[in-house]
Every structure is written in C-alpha cells, then in structure tokens.
Amino acid sequence: MRRMEERLARCNLDWTIVRPPRLTNGEMTPYSVFKGEIASAAISISRRTLAAFMLDVLERGEYIRKAIGVAGQKTI
C-alpha cells in the first residue's frame, strides 16, 4: 500500500486517498475526517456514508493530493 501511495504521489493527477475502517451496510450517518491514518476510535463506516463522503470530496476538491481517513459517527 505504501509503495502504491508513493507512486501515486509522484504522478501529475489530482488524487485523494481515502482510508476507511470496516465497511458496514448500515444507514447514512454523519462522518469524521482524520488526516493520514484512521483514529483508533474509528471502528466502522457505512457504505452509504462512505459513498456520500467521496462525492462530497469530488465536489469540493478539499483534499486534493492528500491521504485522509474517514469514519462514521454513531447517532443517538
């Protein structure tokens, strides 16, 4: 994984590496973003939440040429 990310970093494309924790089939929830590695408290994220996050990233262009972690937040 590290070699792939290093190679990607050398290319001239706009890219974002998203590092999710365990994927679930749960409902949509808010999400939290972490710089680099996933925080140890991040246990899972639903596929719906991850897909929404990835679309948000594409629309905003906020994390171009960055590696980020993302995790779902539990709702009460």
- Domains held by the chain: number: 1
The pLDDT assigned to 32 comes to 87
CATH number, domain containing residue 54: 3.40.50.720
d(CA 53, CA 57): 6
CA 57, 63, 64, 65: dihedral to nearest 10 degrees? Answer: -130
Domain region containing 58: 2-72
The pLDDT assigned to 76 comes to 46
Q: Are strands 22-24 and 44-46 parallel, antiparallel or unpaired?
A: parallel
Q: Residue 24 forms beta bridges with which residues?
A: 46
Strand order in the sheet with 16-19: 16-19, 66-72, 31-35
d(CA 53, CA 45): 10
User: Global pTM?
Assistant: 0.80
pLDDT tens-place string over residues 15-72: 999 989 889 999 999 998 887 665 555 588 999 999 999 999 999 999 999 999 998 8
